[in-house]
Structure 1
Amino acid sequence: MIFHKTDLTDAMLVEAVVRGDERGSFARTMDSQLFEEQGLKADFVQQNTSVSANKGTLRGMHFQLRPHTEAKFVRCIRGAIVDVIVDIRRGSPTFMQHGKFELSAIDNRMLYVPEGFAHSFQTLVDDCEVTYLVTAAYAPEAERGLRWNDPRLGIEWPLPVTTISPKDDSWPLLESDEPDFFEYEAFA
């Protein structure tokens, strides 16, 4: 596995090293020892899978409040997506900045999303499947989100949104430029 730093503090693109022969191919897609060597959390407790039928489907921008904050390790295993994350850790050098990362079933790249980030993705083609590991169990009472089209975030999505849940389409807009989410130091 090859770890690539991103422009967002603590977020990483991870590239699987694929080895092939006449049988097909093999790649390691998770290695807790390598994660720990990079300073990343690797104590995953759940794996989730999302299937989206339509190109342009948008899921998220989700996060969980303390004590249920979660890191995620995201992989597209069918189709292609643009994964968007926002650093919501006040005091972080990249606070309220977002990053966009294209992941597909053929590119062998995965995205490590640290605790204290909002996470979402949009499908680039029909029939997409995304799987991700998380470091905390889902806690409905701790679930929160950012509005995908909040002007304060300034995210330019690659496609018009064709499908979105009513919940994801109705998260409140940010009321200030300095929202009170998480303190960065708590994650260091």
Structure 2
Amino acid sequence: MDKVCAVFGGSRGIGRAVAQLMAQKGYRLAIIARNLEVAKAAAGELGGDHLAFSCDVAKERDVQNTFEEMEKNLGRVNFLVNAAGINRDSLLVRTKTEDMISQLHTNLLGSMLTCKVALKTMIQQQRGSIVNVGSIIGLKGNSGQSVYSAGKGGLVGFSRALAKEVARKKIRVNVVAPVTVTGICLH
């Protein structure tokens, strides 16, 4: 069976680093970002037959369409990485409601939507892996990042609960919470 990995947010940052590692491990990759040209550039740098897709993870129809296209062009996704995320630092009293909503939709709802669609295939296959990229900020909090912290903290609870839901189907769900210090990601 093919090893197919979808990396949402795979065009930059942690998602891009994960995509590079998965390519080295022999996975066929779908690099997904809002900006298709940026995703194509990231996929092209990996060599091989990796593909790029454009998707707004906060929109359920976009997510469904993207999975349909991935399956048609790469095969069934059996490894999902959710690294898509946005951060708009601001004290809560200064944060616009639309900024709160967009952060929560991308950072939490987006991962829920991608997991929901991916699980349909993974359950049929009786196997799969999901890695959701959180943040230490979701566990510890940080001044000026209350909304970001709420979304990433919610992702931790979501991932833990989902892992219990699908464990009997031989599907693993994990969340990682990286720490960034002066631009260097520590694990």
Instruction: Name the TM tier (shorter chain).
Output: under 0.3
Higher strand share: 1
Higher RCO (C-alpha under 8 Å, 6+ residues apart)? 1
| TM-score normalised by the chain length of structure 2 | 0.27
Higher helix share: 2
